Structure 1
Amino acid sequence: MKRCLLSSFIALLIGGSLHAQGDYSDGRRLAQRINALAKSHPQYVKTRSLVKTLGGADIWLITIGTGQTEQKPAIAVVGGVEGKHLLGVELAIGFAEKLLASAQTDSIRRLLDEQTFYVFPNMSPDATEQYFAAVQYERNGNARQTDDDRDGKIAEDGYDDLDGDGKITFIRVEDATGTHILNPDEPRSLIPADLAKGQVGRFLVFPEGIDNDKDGTFNEDGEEGVHFNKNATYNYRNFLPGAGEHAVSEAENRAMFDFLYDAFNVYAVVAFGPYNNLSSPEQAGRGDGAGPPQQGRRPGGRKITSWSSQDAKANAFVSEQYRKITGTTDAPKATAGEGNFAEWAYYHYGRFSFSTPGWWVPRVKADSASRGRNLDNASNGSNDPVAAYLKWAESEGISNTFAEWKPIEHPDFPGKRVEVGGIHPFVLNNPPHTLVDDIASKHTAFVVALAGMAPKLDVVDLKTEKLDNNLTRISLKVLNSGLLPSLTQVGERSYFLKQITVNVKTTGSQNVVSGRKIQTLGAVAGGQAVELSWLVQGSGKLSIEAGSVSTGKKTVEVTL
């Protein structure tokens, strides 16, 4: 039954379409789309700005659901995890639009009655605006003024548009001390020289610009502040460019984290960002939380650095469903950086955390039409993403994403041959906008399918047995009929998350003689049950309530 329901969700949602537009959404366009949802679906949508960034941009929260949304199991959907990843914004707002476009169908209406979705469309709005600026470059930081090279000066060495095309690409300098060579399979691209293969570097490669402060480093201190995706508490590292003066130093991080810590109903977080544990699921480590918590050990007494075995199994199952629904293959390996959001959501927030960029350059097989170049898998893989992109773009007829190399006079390299050119900013991480609608449809279908896997509490096998002395033995099973555990194991170690509470509500002179009147349960795996029993003295009716805000609640009536 559940599989059929998920299939119907997917069929409904893939048929939806985004608002017609020709490019990614800037802040103004995003606000219009958010306001349009609130106006067209007032019974399901509440919107608000959590805070304004230093650049004056809104951090939007869209709450989707009915009734008391804070009392229903919830998924948080997050876009704009990194500023250069424009697709993440489109996937988050696209999820909200496509979900609500199907809100009048029985299955989606039932879903919105049972669960809540918190959508954060763009957590890096200051950075994403750089895509729409007069000079376009990949930016991840907000509008805070920072001294990244710690020389006592602010923003004195930013990018310079040397060829005046409005895009920051690269410069290559022919030099005997060069570290790069031309890719023999794709001479428009440069790759690091490999001494083990007898390769000697010919070029120095830098981002397009000038060493304005003459410290030997190019563009290391521009108008780019703190990264949302470097400012979380887990694995935070001081003194990295973009990390901030301390963890959660930025208003956008604080506002979001404050909201989420109060949202006890959230059981999973879906982040559209550079990290990818949906194509390649997390692996359980040895120790460090790989097994269930030890009795008597103080929570937090040992740092957890890997997913638990139970949580990793859940991630593997969700990953399998993700690949089936989205049809994605050949995902490049992704490593989580210091202070990143996706790891915070699991290790410090304690929820299931699923992250994906949603798109990467598709692998193209070599053929005879590749202009005579031997573009095999070696140059089509992660070793040279530019070559991989150029081959894919050529196969798709995509142009105007690469600036041909052309010579310039560069003040920092007098007498040397210097050329400016290379791949345009943003294109390696974001597909042409014409592909976005289909990608958003598939990822909306995945999030809806994930909601169908939610932990769901039920009370089954209720039995009563009349005994002497006006006693009644009551037994039942608290069942998690969902596919995900009721808590992550890292969350189970935290006193902060809400466990399942079972409460025997007596009336009159009734007395619970044996068994705990109020008790909590740890993580209950999907499809598993916990059996409980009580001896109650007295007569009449009582009720037993079980559940939590992240699993739902169930109440049964008992006659003694």
Structure 2
Amino acid sequence: MRKNYLSVLSGLGIALLLPFTALSQTDYPNLAQIGQRLQSVARDNAATLTSLTKTEGGKDIWVLKIGRGDMDNKPGVAVVGGVEGYHLLSVELALQFAEKLVAERSEALENTTFYVFPNMSPDAYEQYFSGLKFERRGNAAKVDHDRDGSMGEDTYEDLNKDGLITMMRVESPMGDHIPSSTDERVMVKANVSKGERGRYLMYTEGIDNDKDGNFNEDPAEGIAFNKNLTYKFPAFEPLAGDYPVSQKESRAMVDYLFDRWNIFAFITFGPANNLSSPLKYHAGDAKKRVVTSILEKDMAINAMISELYNETITAKAHQQKDQGTDGDFFQWAYFHFARLSFSTPGWWVPEMKNEEGKVIEDASENFLAYAQQEAMESVFVPWTKVDHPDFKGQNVEVGGIKPFLMNNPSYNKVGQLADEHTDFILKLAEMQPKLEFHNMISEKLGNGLTRITADLFNNSPLPTHSEMGAQSRWLRKIRVDINSEKKDIIAGDKIMLIDKMGPFEKQTISWIVKGSGNVEVKAGAAHVGFANLNVRL
């Protein structure tokens, strides 16, 4: 693993040495600005910045480790941004969390270690700052997505020369789309049950370069981080890769996490959402050989944390229903890494109503209504006629909602979102499992014997182990050690293993020891912390 702590990012130039803070931003930061801000956070004594690897495009995959003391042996929370390259907000939320943590909320570092992965898709993220903007997911790896022996030969083309990739509609009697009756800018599927007849074929903007009847099926981008993990890996799908964890960034991150036994929970900023709406338990799916449902006790935890989230975050989700997709990181963290795993987009387009007071169901129409309410300018590319080599003599138009807008709020809204999500993450950290010894009794039995009895207590509304962690046997058990040097343990175990402890659960432990002096007892595991007990015999 290559490490880079406080060194200045190579190749960025003198301009990046100037003072910079998130407050000076008017738009989402580019990779150079992100690098500078990470270096600024890493100047704090509590933070260490590490580059796990470089992507195929030569971009760093950064992790900030923030904490005090024996950081890898106290409960940890991982905060992950950029699982999707088009989700600019996720990177900024993770980055601002790290900045606020060291600058304003450092008291949280006494009991918790935080691992911040600000951007897992830097190659794709960079597309926002390029001359041709589109919502990219894949990295810079060379991939033959359509498996025809050529790489990237059928990618997007900017037909109307506006620097954006939007949609293309082709007028055709075989079409299945029509303009919406309530906003004719928006194309919707014709409802044949109501006698509607389609008039347009819809494609992403581009040309059928390889003349196979498909458009843009082999884009000049590689593998998507959020399709390359092991849980329900979507084999043979575009952007997924030939096998799970095939990419430098996914491999480096997984390797790093496998050495971090102390992480008890993940917060992923991405399209999946189990925070505003918790996951549901399905008994049949939970009993399959490959478990595809959250387990019952973990569902109760998810519901509790979801309630906390909705109390903390002002924005409420309405149309967000994505609770995980095949090969994504959020589900991997729970099903395969066996930790508590929570995900949120961090922002949703608010639910809008039409003139009749009814909720606008179509997502595009809802966004356009929201944009009008917010006086947002230039959010839609008007349908513009173009000459298309694949549709000679047909009416072809390019237009649609501009990329990135439906997934990322205006940057002036990010500050409040970052404040609220920082509050939420720290509230979750305060709930971490916490082992304590209570009710210690030392009884003289005669003949140099002493009985020691104590209650080991989990002083937390969270269990020490997720149900998935206990079932998979992946999380380390609670280990209880009694230091009996120069003393004999007559009864009780010198080393005891406890599978798990529920919320506010206690377990009474007892030993009989022969000898005099002091005895030390230590109980815990990295992901729940350690409790110590000193007994005078």
TM-score by length of 1: 0.89
Counterpart in 1 of 2:228?
Answer: 231
Aligned to 2:182: 185
Counterpart-to-counterpart distance in 1, 2:239 and 2:226? 9
- Equivalent residue number for residue 35 of structure 2: 31
Corresponding residue number in structure 2 for 1:351: 339
**Aligned: 1:81 with 2:122:** no
Give the one of 509, 516, 520 matched to 2:497.
520
Q: Per-residue displacement from partner, 1:87-142 (whole Å, max 9, x unpaired)?
A: 1101100111112221xxxxx33321221110000000000001111010110000
Match 2:445 to one of 455, 462, 467: 467
Structure 1 residue corresponding to 2:394, chosen from 409, 416, 419: 416
Q: Could you say what secondary structure the match of 1:392 adopts?
A: helix
| Residue 488 in structure 1 maps to residue 466 in structure 2 | yes
Q: CA deviation at 1:496?
A: 3.7
- Identical-pair percentage: 44
User: Equivalent residue for 1:20?
Assistant: 24
* Alpha-carbon spacing, 1:122–1:457, altered in 2? closer, same or farther (3 Å): same
| Partner AA of 2:187 in structure 1 | L
Q: Distance in 1 between matches of 2:285 and 2:53?
A: 36
Once residues 223 and 215 of structure 2 are traced to their aligned partners in structure 1, the CA distance between those partners, rounded to angstroms, is 19
Match of 1:479 among 446, 457, 465: 457
Shift in CA distance, 61/376, structure 1 to aligned 2, threshold 3 Å: same
Asked whether the 8 Å contact 2:338–2:474 carries over to 1, the reply is no
Q: Secondary structure at the match of 2:170?
A: strand
Any residues of structure 2 matched to 1:208-357 within 5 Å, and which?
A: 208-286=205-283, 289=286, 302-331=289-318, 332-357=320-345
Q: Distance in 2 between matches of 1:322 and 1:239?
A: 36
- Which deviates further from its counterpart, 525-534 or 48-57? 525-534
CA contact (8 A) 1:507 1:541 kept: no
Q: How far apart in 2 are the matches of 1:310 and 1:430?
A: 34
Aligned residues: 516
User: Which amino acid in the other structure matches residue 86 of structure 1?
Assistant: L
SS at match of 1:187: coil
- Alpha-carbon deviation of 1:535? 2.5
The reply on whether 1:550 has 2:537 as its aligned counterpart is no
| 2:421 aligned residue (428, 437, 443) | 443
Deviating beyond 6 angstroms after TM superposition, the runs of 4 or more aligned structure 1 residues are none
Aligned partner of 1:69 in structure 2 is: 71
Partners of 1:222 and 1:441 lie apart in 2 by 37
Report if the CA contact (8 A) 1:289-1:490 is conserved: no
In structure 2, relative to structure 1, the CA distance for the partners of 1:330 and 1:488 (3 Å cut) is same
Write the distance in 2 (CA, Å) between the matches of 1:210 and 1:92: 37
Aligned equivalents of 1:495 and 1:387: distance in 2? 48
Q: What's the CA shift for 1:287?
A: 5.3
Residue equivalent to 1:362 = 350
Deviation at residue 559 of structure 1 after TM alignment: 2.4
Matching residue of 2:358: 376
1:269 and 1:351 in contact (8 A); partners too: yes
Structure 2: how far apart are the matches of 1:68 and 1:214?
Answer: 60
The one-letter amino acid paired with 1:265 is N
Counterparts of 1:330 and 1:253 in 2: how far apart (Å)? 29
Partner deviation per Cα, 1:326-362 (whole Å, 9 max, x = no partner): 1232332114211110000001111100000001111
Counterpart contact for 1:80–1:86, Cα < 8 Å? yes
Alignment-derived partner of residue 479 in structure 2: 501
Alpha carbons 2:156, 2:206 under 8 Å: kept: yes
Paired residue for 2:383? 405
Q: Contact 2:28–2:411 at 8 Å: present in 1 too?
A: yes
User: Is residue 316–residue 348 contact of structure 2 (8 Å, CA) maintained in 1?
Assistant: no
Distance in 2, matches of 1:319 and 1:230, equals 25
* 1:471 Cα deviation after fit: 3.1
Question: Is 1:458 the equivalent of 2:442?
Answer: no
State how far apart, in whole Å, the 1-side matches of 2:346 and 2:144 are. 33
- The aligned amino acid for 2:147 is R
Contact 2:518 2:534 in 1 (8 A): yes
Larger mean CA deviation between 459-468 and 431-440 belongs to 459-468
2:173 touches 2:198 (CA, 8 Å); kept in 1? Answer: yes
SS at structure 2 position matched to 1:188? coil
Where does the alignment leave 5 or more consecutive residues of structure 1 unmatched? 1-16, 103-107, 291-300, 368-373
Distance 1:397 1:45 in 2: 41
CA contact (8 A) 1:18 1:98 kept: no
Contact 2:274 2:342 in 1 (8 A): yes
In the alignment, the residues of structure 1 paired with residue 391 and residue 125 of structure 2 have an alpha-carbon distance, to the nearest angstrom, of 32
SS in 1 for 2:283: coil
Distance 1:306 1:519 in 2: 32
Check 1:531–1:287 CA distance in 2 against 1; reply closer, same or farther (3 A cut): farther
Mapped to 2, the partners of 1:452 and 1:131 lie a distance apart of 36
Aligned to 2:405: 427
**Structure 2 regions of 5+ residues with no counterpart?**
1-20
SS at match of 1:51: strand
Amino acid at match of 1:548: A
Residue 468 of structure 1 and its aligned partner are, at CA, apart by: 4.7
Give me the whole-angstrom Cα distance separating, in 1, the residues matched to 2:242 and 2:499.
Answer: 37
Q: How far 1:488 sits from its partner (Å)? A: 0.8
State the Cα distance separating 1:24 from its structure 2 match.
Answer: 0.9
The 3 A distance-change label for structure 1 pair 286 and 532 is: same
Cα distance, 1:272 vs. partner? 0.2
Larger deviation: 313-322 or 469-478? 469-478
Sort the Cα spacing of 1:202 and 1:282 in 2 relative to 1 into closer, same or farther, 3 A: same
Mapped contact 1:361–1:428 kept (Cα < 8 A): yes
What amino acid is the match of 1:281?
P
How far the C-alpha of 1:302 sits from its partner, in A, is 3.5
Distance (Å, rounded) in 2 between the aligned partners of 1:472 and 1:318: 44
CA RMSD of aligned residues (A): 1.6
> CA shift at 1:538, angstroms?
3.1
Counterpart residue number, 1:293? none
Residues of 1 paired with 2:177 and 2:449: CA distance? 84
Query: What is the distance in 1 between the residues matched to 2:535 and 2:267?
Result: 40
- TM-superposed CA distance for 1:547, in Å, is 1.1
Structure 2 CA distance for aligned equivalents of residues 477 and 229 of structure 1: 44
TM-score normalised to structure 2 length: 0.93
